[in-house]
Every structure is written in C-alpha cells, then in structure tokens.
Chains A and B, each alone.
Chain A
Amino acid sequence: MNEFVQYLVNGLTIGSFLALIALGYSMVYGVVRLINFAHGDIFMIGAFAGFSVLTTIGVTGGMALPAVLAAVVIGALTTGVVGTGIARVAYTPLLKAPQLSLFIAAIGVSLALQEGVKVLTDARFKSYPNALDGGQILGGSVRVTYGQLVLVVLAVVLMAGLWFFITRTVTGTAMRALAMDRDAARLQGINVERLILMTFFIGSVLAGAAGVMYGLYYTQISFGMGFLIGLRAFTAAVLGGIGNLPGTMAAGIFIGLVQSFSAGYISSRWTDVIIFALLIGVLALRPTGLFGERVVERA
C-alpha cells in the first residue's frame, strides 16, 4: 500500500511537468495546426536558462526559495522570447505553405536546438545546484519533499493562470477565435500574425518554466533531455484532445501516473510501449482524442 501511494505521489509530480509541456503543444496546434516538434527542446532551453540564472546568482544549497522563483520567472520569460524568436524566423514565413513544410521546419529547429546546445556544453550534462533539497512531509515510508510540493503548486498556479487567460481575457478569447477560423478572425480585425506569435510566447513560457522546475528537481540537464519528455507530452496532448486545454492537462497528469505505475508494477522497460499502445488504442477508437478536439475541421 505504501508503494502505491509513493507511486501516486511520483506520478503526480512527473505528470505536472508533462501537463505544462503538453499545454504548449496543444495551444500552438490549435492556432497554427503545427505539431511543434521543437517544443520539447524549448523545454530543454528553459532548463539551461534557469541554470544560467542560478549559476549567476550563485546558489550553493539549501532551500533558497527567492532564488528558485527568480530562476523560474527569468528562465521562463527568456525561453518565451527564444521560442517566439524562432517562430518568427522559421515558422511565420511558412504559414501559407503546405502543412508538411511547417512540420519539417519544426523538426529542423528541434535538431538545430539540440545540436547547438550540444556544441555549447561539449555534450556533457550540467548539474543544477541542489536548491530544493530536503524536507519530508508525509509520514510513514512515503516521502514527499519540499521540492515536490513547491513544484506541483507552481505547476497548478501556471495552469490556472493559463486557463484564466484563455477564458477571461480579450487576448485569450481572440486566440480561441483564431483557433476556430483564421480568416474569420482576421476579418474581425484580429492581428493574426501577432496573436500567433503571442501563442508561441505563452507556450514557450510554460515549457520554459517546466524546464527550470525540472532542473531544480532532477538536477541533471543535458542537450537531449527534451526529446523523450517532449514525445510523452505530445502523446498527452493528443490523448486529451489537442486544442482542448483541460483535456490536455488531465491527460498530462494521466501519462505521468502511467509512467510511475508502469515502472512500479510492470517494468520501466515497457513504459513507452504501454504509453504508445494506449495512444494508438485511444485514437483507433476515438480519432479525435479521449476528450475530443476543440479545433474545427474545415469541410
């Protein structure tokens, strides 16, 4: 029983990261019909951005909450800028081109980011200072660290913020309109290009925040860290119904739990097979995802 709770705790932690990253996939796809392959690598950039912040500040150890928050905020915003810059240079010229071109460009960007960071870090991994160590919360043999708590709370705050933004603000509503019908949105006076860039910005901020938090929690970051987690997050986005934000969040948590429980009760060797089999099974039965899509297919 103890194991079960421990798996649950771990699964929720992993799931929070996946949900944050998956949201970025979902948003961008909803607006631009692009599976942004490079999104997982944006997450990686975030991790390195946070790393730079922390090494500049000079954190050594212990729970340095202000430093942690600074790293998350600055790292996330920096990543947002980087993500938007990339979109401006590599994606916006292709918005009118066939979808495949955009897809391939994203693959190219993904490779370029990985390789670029690889060159800069000499292919070695970097270690975050242990800023979130220590602390046991739950009793008994189930362990929850302060770090885990901080992270889950942060993730929830970010997701709630996104939800508020999308549903309650004018810009957010404009984004939803854009996702439904680009031409109609343009005719309503919405500056489509600017809004698309804003979507990339928000998605990248979320991924960047997730990256910093990941670095803080797991300590080790390397140029290739974005690929596997990006793939899992994308699976979550599709599973939850791409463009459907609450569905995506739920699916992210779900995949995190699958990862944890499958490693615990079966074997982590088969985790990916299970996750992909789930994806294929769901799509075979419901071609638009578990919770259905919120993008309109033009007839």
Chain B
Amino acid sequence: MPFFPPPSSQSPRALSPRTVGTILSIGLLTLPFATACKGGGSSGGSGGSGGGDIKIGVPVPLSGDSASAGQDIVAAAKVAADEVNKAGGVNGKKIQIVEADDACSAQQGAQAAQKLLNSKVVAVAGGYCSSAAVPAVPIFGRRNVPFVIDAATNPVLTETGKGKVFRTCGRDDKQGLFAAKFMTGELKAKRIAVLHDNTTYAKGLADAAADSVKQQGGGAQIVYNDALQPGQADYTPVLTKIASTKPDVLYFTGYFAEAGLLMKQRKQLGLKFALMGGDATTDKTVVKTAGSAAEGYMATTAPLAKDLPTASGFVTAYKTKTGADPGPFSVYEYDAVKVLAKAIGDAKSTKGEDITKALHAIKGYQGITGPLSFDDKGDRDGLLYITVSVKDGDFAGYKKLDAAGTTWVDAKSA
C-alpha cells in the first residue's frame, strides 16, 4: 500500500476535483482579510463603550498552560477599571481594558503587542511570561506607549526598556538576593542546592540566588545547581541526586505544578533537607498534590493579597466579580492599572511620552501592595519580599526582614 496519496490524476478530464481545489484555495486565501477586519476592532472590553474611552492594553497568556494566571490578571485589571470609572473616570473619560493573548511565546507576544497598538491603546498594564514580554518591549517602545509590568520578573525587560517600561512587581535578581539572605540568615544553611526547570524565569531566579549566595560569603556554598524537566512527573531520581550532595536546603525556582510533586516525592523518599521555592510555586493546588507533605514548605514571594491588609477591599470586589479568589499577581495588576490611571490624570494627556513622564514623577503612591515609586529604569523602588509557608493546608505569611534589613521578623508584624 502506498504511504503517500498519489497526486491528482494527470488526465485532462479531471476537472471537478480541480475546480473544487481552486474554489477552496481562493476561499482560504481570504482568511487573512478576515483577520485584518477582526484585528481592526478591539476584543473584549469593560467599563464603558464608544469613542473617547481611554484604552489600556493587557497582554497576558490566555491560552496554553498559563491561561489561568492570565485570566486572573485580566479580571484584576477589570476590577481596577470598574473602580476608576465608578469614581468618575480619568480626565472625564472612562477606562476600557483591552486584552490580548500572548500565549507565553515570543511570536504571539509580538503579535499581541501589535494588536493592542492597533486597538489604539494609550498604555499597557500586563505581562506574565518574560519570554512574551521581551519582543513586546521594543514594539511598544517605538510608539512610546508605556508598559507597566505586573508579573514578568526578568531583569532584561527594564534594563533594555529605555525608561518606558515599569514594574509593580519585583525582579528576579532582587528576589534571588532575598532568598539567599533568608537561607543563609534565617535558615542558617551552609550547603544550598538550587533547582530550576530550564525556563527563562526559573533559571534567571536560580542563577540570581546562586550568585547571591556566593557573594554572601560566610562559608555558605552552592552544592547543586541544575534543572529538572517539567512535565515528567517523576522527580525521584533528581531528588535522590540532590540528596547525595547533602544540602541543608533546596531552593526550587520553577512552577507550582512541579513544586507539589517535589514536596510529595521528597517525603516519599524520606529526605531530610528543607524545601523552599520561588514565587511561582505559591499556588494552593500544591497542597492538593502533596497533601500532608506540603506542611512547612516555604517560598519567597512578593506579598500575596491575603498578606496585605490594604488589599482586602480589592479581594472582596474581585470575589464578587469573578466568584473566585484572586491569583498571586492580581493585586500587582490592580496597582498597575490604578497607577496608570493616576499618571494619565496627572499628565492630563493620553500621549505616551506624557504618561511616561508622569509615571516617573510618581512618589509614594499608595497602592494596595504598598507605596509605589519607580526608579530611573522603571523598576519598583523598595519592594519588600517576604517568605510564606504552608500552615494547615494554606499559604500564610512567615518571615520578612525588618525595616533595617538585618533581622528576620514575623511577616505579620508591622
């Protein structure tokens, strides 16, 4: 039996299939025009309609594995927009949220950015995967549209942002430093193992933590720095190998799907070293996977909604709107939209350069995640990381550095 279908018959009588083919082809070739039409309009919106609205773009993954995170961020943006509009809008106009799917990939990220620009957004508040944000930065930059990032933590975004990229979240190198301090200071670990999953974010954070540990000195050393493979499910070989290096603590910088499995399998193997993770592991589902093995698990993170007394209003509003709890980055997106609204109001203009200038000028804006100011590069000044841990089946604040930055105190303390 032939493997391939034979090409269509060469006899001149075969007109019918040929005509079918031509018609089909012409039909399909009009597809791009369908996109052109759809691309012109905006997709989705809230808080107002019609011309004259101030459009804020939200590029996040809405398909693929991170879709749930993206949806949480869009929902938070809409909560913020609703609030602003209810209070009278900005400069007399309503804010409209325009979402776009970057599918956590570079190609889609670039396309999503173009799409948003097409929809005439004046500013952008969003981003989750650094790999999707990287190509978007110059695209927005060329049109001077400011980009306020709520969750993408790769340092390169603001380093190459030319001052037009801002963050309400932290950066991996800062989180890495914080993690190093915690492990050497509070946990008093001398032998530290670092594990990532070979993705951009996780490797960045792992390398940052490893470098910081080395710089800390004081006898602490990195005994292991390697990656596991996401999607594999069986990490017992990796854990066994890590155990053979006799670490005091293992810092896993990947995502929560793998974190839960690591917790469970670590207990299965009866391993003794402490396990902690980065801020992508703080999803409650790890408890479902690991069960009792999750108790005591620690993670570094920017404060979660529940750790922020100032965020309670937001949490209620979010729950009312969506019926679910906010995701870990929802509060940062909320602040991103709100701070943009403020900047637009301050600038009294919707021109990109004016908004950017106004953003840089903001000092001590009271966001629900804390006081907000941006440094020259656009990074958030003085964002405090904290550590959380699993207690009674949920994440709760654990430890943070005091104001002086030297002693470890309970996270809930003022």
Contact = CB atoms under 8 A, between A and B. Distances in A.
Contact flag (A, B; Cβ within 8 A): yes
A14 B234 contact: yes
Given A14-B234, A100-B3, A124-B285, A6 B269 contact: yes
A100 B291 contact: no
Contacts of A265: 241
Given A100-B3, A130-B291, A123 B237 contact: no
B49 interface: no
A263 B237 contact: yes
A94 to B, nearest CB: 11
Contacts of B289: 127, 219-220
A294 interface: no
Nearest to A261: B237
B233 to A, nearest CB: 5
Contacts of B64: 123
Contacts of B237: 7, 10-11, 259-261, 263-264, 268
Contact of A98 (B5, B232, B240, B269): B5
B215 interface: no
Nearest to B290: A219
A101 B285 contact: no
Contacts of A219: 260-261, 264, 289-290
B231 A228 contact: yes
Given A98-B1, A219-B264, A268 B236 contact: no
A224 interface: yes
Interface string A1-37: 0010011001101100000000000000000010000
A6 B233 contact: no
B2 A99 contact: yes
B257 interface: yes
Contacts of A261: 237
B119 interface: no
Contacts of B5: 97-98, 100-101
A244 interface: no
B229 interface: yes
A224 B2 contact: no
Contacts of A167: none
Contact of A122 (B6, B68, B231, B240): B68
Contact of A267 (B227, B244, B257, B270): B227
Interface string A260-274: 110111011101100
Contacts of A268: 226-229, 232, 235, 237-238
Interface string B59-103: 000001101100000000000000000000000000000000000
Interface in A104-123: 122-123
A88 interface: no
B227 A10 contact: no
User: What size tier do the contact residues of chain B reach?
Assistant: 35 or more
A33 B2 CA distance: 12
Interface in B241-272: 241, 244, 257, 260-261, 264, 268-270
B68 A123 contact: yes
Given A101-B5, A143-B268, A125 B236 contact: no
A125 B231 contact: no
A55 interface: no
B392 to A, nearest CB: 16
A269 B231 contact: no
Given A6-B240, A10-B236, A123-B64, A222 B226 contact: no
Contacts of B227: 267-269
A13 B240 CA distance: 15
A30 to B, nearest CB: 15
B288 interface: yes
A142 B226 CA distance: 23
Nearest to B5: A98
A123 B261 CA distance: 18
Kindly name the residue among A13, A130, A145, A222 whose own CB sees the greatest number of chain B CB atoms within 10 A: A130
Contact of B257 (A97, A98, A99, A125): A125
Interface in B1-52: 1-6
B241 A264 contact: yes
B144 to A, nearest CB: 35
Contact of B68 (A14, A100, A124, A263): A124
28 contacts: A3-B240, A3-B241, A6-B240, A6-B269, A10-B234, A10-B236, A10-B240, A14-B234, A97-B5, A99-B1, A99-B2, A99-B4, A101-B5, A123-B65, A123-B67, A125-B285, A133-B291, A143-B268, A145-B268, A219-B260, A220-B233, A228-B231, A260-B237, A263-B238, A264-B237, A267-B227, A268-B227, A268-B229
Which 8 residue pairs are nearest across A and B when measured between Cβ atoms? A263-B237, A127-B288, A99-B3, A10-B236, A218-B233, A98-B5, A123-B67, A260-B237
Given A219-B264, A220-B233, 11 more contacts: A10-B236, A10-B240, A98-B1, A122-B68, A124-B68, A127-B289, A143-B270, A219-B261, A225-B231, A268-B232, A269-B198
